[in-house]
Amino acid sequence: MSTLITPHTDAKMANIIEKVRGGERLNLEDGVYLYESNDLLTIGQLANEVNQRKNGNKVYFIENMSLYFTNVCEAHCAFCNFRKDDGEEGAYTLSGQEMVQYVEQHIHPGVREFHIVGGHNDKVPFQYYVDSLKALNEAFPQVTLKAYTAAEIDFFTRISGLSIREVLEELRAAGLQSLTGGGAEILSDQYRKKMRVNKANVEEYLEVHRTAHQLGMKTHTTMLYGSIESHEDRVRHMLQIRDLQDETNGFMVFIPLSMQPKNKNAGIMRRNSAYEDLKTIAISRLMLDNFDHIKAYFINIGAQLTQVALSFGASDVHGTILKERISHAAGALTPEGLTREELIWLVKGAGKIPVERDTFYNEIKVYE
């Protein structure tokens, strides 16, 4: 058993260390304590130990493209700068064939996944969203369709009159293979009211993923942190996700998303600190003992901090992306995508082993 970098810890931290190394599950009180502790190195080392047990030195990435069919949205979430009203300058809604043409201009042979999210556009019928996937699936059958958030699925039930299960079954028939993790924000109805998250509530978000898992789908899940939520709110969010994972074992990865300011010129005090980002990734790894992977999302925290996060519990660096828009519509200062070679360099620079994967974490190639 290794010695902690910072051996002079208090009794509470010593108890958490004992729990983690003994395979005992952490509780709400433990998680809040970790957030309030300044002992980042101990928290990071514990998270690294857990990740080493699960994944060794392997770090995963995928060659993917982010696609956005529409930015028209009926919701007015306080943190979003991506959405537009129908008819507003900059608003758009692409047909399936228009998206196919866009992809043909930008795709390269290594792309294995389309990551598809967008606005809740109530000016088009549910069939539009089905046909959008169908067009891509017919044109690029070799590429996995990871599409729509749980909030979008809930929105589809409202505009179609169908149940969650019926919506998912129609989308699967059109080519859907996995759901994205977005729309979770913070799983607190009080938070969602204050932040005007007038889309799927906590139970609806969880029920969409529960239903998808019951249908045999593997999905992703997120947490958008760094606004008005408390540390307890963050930990309760993780516990609700952990409980659902106990029930279904359908989540593949947890993705902490660092909140971006609306203005690219916002000063550092309007952004999460690197300290807070690393702590959140490490605590996610420690709390979510039934998840295989925690993702360090370079779009939100930057490539260099992503490298550091690989020693703080993260085992995934997402993918090539090719022109991310949602975080960059806010204040993200990071690249809109990275190449395969850059991702390999990033992972190797952290002393880890890059592993190219598919959507479902099947290994495609290990870059020793």
Confirm or deny that 77 is annotated as ligand binding: yes
Distance between CA atoms of residues 160 and 127, nearest Å: 8
Angle at 59 between CA 310 and CA 294, to 5 degrees: 65
- Is 80 assigned to a binding site? yes
Element (H, E) at 65: strand 64-67
Element at 318 (helix H, strand E): strand 316-319
Angle at 182 between CA 298 and CA 232, to 5 degrees: 85
> Kind and range of the H or E element at 294?
strand 293-294
- Does the CA dihedral 97-118-172-158 come out positive or negative? negative
Q: How far apart are the first and last CA of the chain?
A: 27
Has 261 been labeled as part of a binding site? no
> How many helices and strands (H and E) does the chain possess?
15, 11
Angle between helices 202-214 and 231-248 (to 10 degrees): 20
Q: Kindly provide the residue ranges of all beta strands, DSSP E only, lying in 75-196, ordered along the sequence.
A: 113-116, 144-147, 176-178
State the amino acid at position 267 in one-letter form: G
Distance set, CA 51 to CA 20, 236, 311 (Å): 12, 22, 9
> What does the buried/exposed string (b/e) look like for 9-22 if buried means 16 or more CB atoms within 10 Å of the residue's CB?
eeeebeebbebbee
Spatial distance between the Cα atoms of 188 and 132, rounded to a whole number of angstroms: 32
Q: In this structure, what token pair is assigned to residue 56?
A: 């060794």
Q: Which residues are annotated as a binding site?
A: 73, 77, 80
Q: Which residues are annotated as a binding site for [4Fe-4S] cluster?
A: 73, 77, 80
